[in-house]
Amino acid sequence: MENSNGQVVQASGVSRRFGEGAAAVDALVDVSTAFDRGRFTAIMGPSGSGKSTLMHILAGLDKPTAGTVVLDGQEITSLDDTELTKLRRDKLGFVFQFFNLLPVLTAEENLVLPLSIAGRKPDQAWLDQLVDTVGLGDRRTHRPSELSGGQQQRVAVARALVSKPTVVFADEPTGNLDSKASSDVLRLLRHAVDDFGQTVIMVTHDPAAAAHADRLITLRDGRIVHDGAPGSADEVIELMKTID
């Protein structure tokens, strides 16, 4: 079910409190925001600002203490664990800082793993296009130990895209990469948005990574303090100086 305005994820009044009483910590406080289909959004903020908590709640990996999240027309905050697992399998792609590839599988086996788990066959033309796009045509049969960090992360990005998910969530996807590998991965995410119509929501601390996005949301102390176009990496750095 698609909203007429093309919003694919909506968070309304989302709060997340950890602990109780005097020891309670409010990681998110009454956050409301929405994400358009086919756009690349970066989420930044100082350490402890709530950016990873927000991503986990948007992706159904954690539940808010208050508020609701609607993903692709479905209210997900009231789903049970089985329903959430199915939602994540059918609708979402994930890219993490640590590549999370299985060492015993080849690059291609890792890439199609989400489909294998769901008992679905890959669309061969799409798989070939993805392998080509991520530049791993000659690495299909290599195991992760035979790939560089950048190549492993490109496999992880392709794995996130293979099921044509509604949303790809990327959590610090360049956090373990050198600058060349980082820009390869960011170009790949940008390409997924521009050419495949993918929706990407990325948490990052890297201003250069944020500059690849269409939109930058910045959090401080669990609240959104900025929401707009990121501009250049230098402009992101200047913005973050006002927020830290």
Interval 104-121: pLDDT, tens = 888 888 888 878 777 888
Dihedral (Cα; 31, 91, 216, 33), 10-degree rounding: -20
- The whole domain housing 197 covers 37-63+77-243
117 occurs within a structural domain: yes
Q: What is the pLDDT of residues 121-134, one digit of tens each?
A: 878 888 888 888 77
Q: What is the mean pLDDT of residues 144-161?
A: 85
Question: What is the Cα–Cα distance from 92 to 108, expressed in whole angstroms?
Answer: 19
For residue 56, is it within any domain? yes
Burial 52-78, CB ≥16 within 10 A → b, else e = bbbbbbbbbbbbbeebebbbbeeebbe
Is 102 part of a structural domain of the chain?
A: yes
* Structural domain count, the chain: 1
Does some domain include residue 5?
Answer: no
Domain annotation covers residue 8 = no
| 200-203 and 25-36 beta bridge pairing | unpaired
Among 65-74, 83-92, 103-112, 131-140, where is mean pLDDT lowest? 131-140
CATH of the domain at 110: 3.40.50.300
- Bridge partners, 201 (sequence order): 41, 169
Is the residue at 1 inside a domain?
no
Residue 240 tokens, joined = 């973050």
The residue to which tokens 């130990």 are assigned: 145
